[in-house]
Amino acid sequence: MNRHENKVFENQHVILDEGVFVNCTFKNCSLEYSGGDVYVQNCQGEGCQLVWRGAAQRTVLLLQGLGLMVPPPPPAGSEPPSRVQ
């Protein structure tokens, strides 16, 4: 596993799988997770976006379908989906 300690990630795309993150800060990053091993301790995030892939994405879809996780709101300024009649 790749170890990152006391590191600041800023304006980056960070793949979390197979990583160890201790005392790290993530600022305006996209954080990608695919369901692999990851260890996070005492980290902080600001203005980040989570990107779900593979097994992690399927888990999120299952949790949303069961009503246990709320889907993210649409981006500001986007039109709501049209209704089918």
Q: What is the pLDDT of residues 50-84, one digit of tens each?
A: 999 999 999 999 999 999 999 877 777 766 555 55
Q: pTM score > 0.85 for this model?
A: no
Indicate the DSSP class of residue 20: E
45 within a domain of the structure (yes/no) = yes
pLDDT class of 85 with cuts at 50, 70, 90: very low
Domain membership of residue 85 (yes or no) is no
Does residue 81 fall inside a structural domain?
no
Task: Answer whether residue 55 is part of any domain.
Answer: yes
User: What is the C-alpha separation between 16 and 61, in angstroms, rounded?
Assistant: 19
Please state the domain count of the chain: 1
Give the domain range for residue 61: 2-65
Tell me if 83 is assigned to some domain. no
Residue 76 lies in a domain: no
DSSP 8-class letter at 74: P
